Amino acid sequence: MTERQSIISVRGLTNRFGEAVIHENLDLDVHRGEIIGVVGGSGTGKSVLMRSIIGLQTPAEGHVEVLGENMVGRTEDEAKNIRRRWGILFQNGALFSTLTVAENVEVPIREYFPFIRPPLLDEIASYKIAMGGLPADAGPKYPSELSGGMVKRAGLARALALDPELLFLDEPTAGLDPISAAAFDELILGLQKRLDLTVFLITHDLDTLYAICDRVAVLADRKVIAVGTIPELLALDHPWIQEYFNGPRGRAAADTAKEHAEA
Amino acid sequence: MASSAASPPAEGGSEPFRIRGTLTITRAASIQREIDAEADPVTIDLSGVERMDTVGAWLVYRTVRDRGAKVTGASPEAQSLLDQVEEFDKPVQVRPEEGASFGRVIAELGQWMVEVGRTLVGLLGFFGATLIAFMQVASRPKRFRWNAVVQRFDVVGVRALGIIGLMSFLIGVVIGQQGAVQLQQFGAEIYTINLIGRITVRELGTLMTAIMVAGRSGSAFAAQLGTMKITEEIDAMRTIGVSPIEALVIPRMIAAVIMMPLLAFWAMLMALLGGGIFVWLDLGIPPLTYIQRLQEVIPITDLWIGLLKAPVFGFIIALAGCFQGMLVESNSEEVGLRTTTAVVQSIFLVIVLDAVFAVFFSSIGWK
């Protein structure tokens, strides 16, 4: 593979919760402009890895660099400049329940750019909502009035509020029906191309992996055991990887992807 | 003007409005002002733009849309951003529709009245549902989960002993101290014992216990049931065929009804103890005299009054707590609101009922 610029670089990451070691000496590189999918069985610490990268979890050991800045042991003030350059979609949307969808989208903009006047703010919120693929009447709704798929789209609209370079998605298609999930995949792929995003994607959804991921990182045995395109991973003979991609679900997803490619 | 800023408008607006450097959200407010200051027709020259984001593109796009401006010198990237922003220019509603302010006040008042009416009807309905469930339990007592009730006894009763005991002890001390200060002026400090004895047994023991139980257990009932509502546990129960009222509400009610008089009695004893220690140390009245005097001045009806009110208060607290908990529908924020309402409602109802009881017992001659 050609030399590419790393936008996230994790070196020797170790995470422990009491006795339980989640990660041990984990390395990972994410290149600029790619969609990287992170897979692994339940409890292999996919979410913990993401939390370590975005600074919500202080690792026991190791070095994490995002957008060229060291993330470990930084003060909140220093981290703020990096925080506005990424957007994060949490697993359950994590929308602020007391705010409407539009207000949710406006929160990051207000936080970093308090001088922008309300009319312009509303216009920005309005096209971010459209960008997230939400219907026109979604703006004044509260999160409790939204369906699961709409919560994710609203979360994505909020993540995109500040034109991030880097987008973190924690299981974006979990809990969605296959049609919504496919639409969501398409949305992410479209946005990634248009906005030149780098996407860090945690998923269990094999269809998503085949449909949109450039590379896939496999978490097992407390580290990233392999990173590569799906054909590259299939060439390895690690039992978990074989089981994962060649199990009945894996094969079904591969067939669908092939059909799409032919069509 | 600074090198990165936009160039000033030339005569007649024929000169293009040139933007140099970055056209991003950081400069959105100032660039918008400058564009607004331009006279029509506007031509925007983007050839000097080094970096543009969607907000910058939006500013350019809306000028084109609203004022028919021309754009020149856009790089391919800038053009693709402009196209993309245009694509997402859909009419999206951002603010909820609002009526005129006077009409809105009236509407809110109306909604509030409807809400109050609904709550009262709902409370009555809930009361009925619990009565029916009580009947069902009474007809098939073997099927009832007595374990759950015993567990509630522990949470509502036993674990409250410490805080209620301490509170009552201090109340006894305070009544004794305040009474003694006033009564000493008449040389009637011996009547401090009357004051402590009657007020704690007849009124404060039960009332303060009810307030503490409402704060401790009533709120917990509302929060527990509310959370179970959100996590769909209650729906799961229904589908399995377990009545949530029978499984969740009745045990809590039984526990509150049985524990309240016991806790109230405990509170009375602790208040008497606190008052006794105070009069012993401060007024020099020995414990034996204190106890004898209490026996003489407290009519047994006072104890009945205190203990008869207690289960009623317990019932009210459990009813309000469980009712508010079951009303939770959508989100976690509502759990907090409902919990607050449950506590406020039950304390309010307890105090209103206490006043009713005071009038009632006086009029039947229990003075």
Domain count across chain A: 1
Assess A131–B contact: CB distance below 8 Å, yes or no.
yes
Q: Is the pTM of this model over 0.80?
A: no
The nearest CA of chain B is from the CA of A141 a distance in Å of 8
Cα angle B253, B257, B263; round to 5: 130
Beta carbons of B95 and A115 less than 8 Å apart:
no
pLDDT of residue A138: 87
pLDDT digits (tens, 9 = 90+) for A188-202: 888 888 888 899 999
- What is residue B226's predicted lDDT score, i.e. its pLDDT? 94
Query: How do the domains of chain B map onto residue ranges?
Result: 11-87, 113-363
Of the partner residues B25, B94, B333, the one whose CB lies closest to the CB of residue A163:
B25
DSSP codes joined into one string, A232-245: HHHTS--HHHHHHH
Domain encompassing residue A144:
33-44+83-262
Does A180 touch chain B if contact means CB atoms closer than 8 Å? Answer: no
B93 CB near a chain A CB, below 8 Å?
A: yes
Tokens of A251: 């094969």
Q: What is the pLDDT along chain B (367 residues), one digit of tens a residue?
A: 334 444 444 444 457 888 888 888 888 888 888 888 888 788 888 888 888 888 888 888 888 888 888 888 888 888 888 888 888 887 777 777 776 788 888 989 999 999 889 988 998 999 999 999 999 888 888 878 888 899 999 999 999 999 999 999 999 999 999 999 999 999 898 999 999 999 999 999 999 999 999 999 999 999 999 999 988 888 888 888 788 898 899 999 999 999 999 999 999 999 999 999 999 999 999 999 999 999 999 999 999 999 999 999 999 999 999 999 999 987 778 899 999 999 999 999 999 999 999 999 999 988 8
Per-residue model confidence (pLDDT) at position A3: 55
> What is the value of ipTM here, to two decimals?
0.71
Q: Which of A92, A109, A127 to mutate to test the interface with B (most CBs of B within 10 A)?
A: A127
A64-94 burial, b if ≥16 CB within 10 A, otherwise e? bbbbeeebeeeeeeeeeebbbebbbbbbebe
Find chain A residues with C-beta within 8 A of B90's C-beta: 126-127, 130, 136
Residue A198 host element (H or E): strand A198-202
| Any domain includes A54 | no
Of B25, B94, B332, which is closest to A139 when you measure between CB atoms?
B94
Residues ≥6 apart with Cβ < 8 Å to B308 = B357
Low-confidence ranges of chain A (pLDDT < 50): 1-2
What pLDDT is recorded for position B63?
A: 86
Distance CA B60, CA B18 (A): 12
For A145, nearest residue in chain B (alpha carbons): B330
SS (H, E, C) B186-215: CCCHHHHHHHHHHHHHHHHHHHHHHHHHHH
Nearest Cβ partner of A136 from B28, B90, B333? B90
CATH number, domain containing residue A109: 3.40.50.300
pLDDT score of B147: 86
- Can you give the pLDDT at residue A1? 44
CA separation (Å) from B181 to B121, B167, B203, B285?
49, 21, 21, 15
Q: Within a 13 Å sphere around the CA of B270, how many CA atoms are in the beta-carbon half?
A: 22
Residue type at A5 in one-letter notation: Q
A141 in a domain, yes or no? yes
At residue A225, φ and ψ (nearest 5 deg) are: -80, -25
Superfamily of domain B11-87: STAS domain (3.30.750.24)
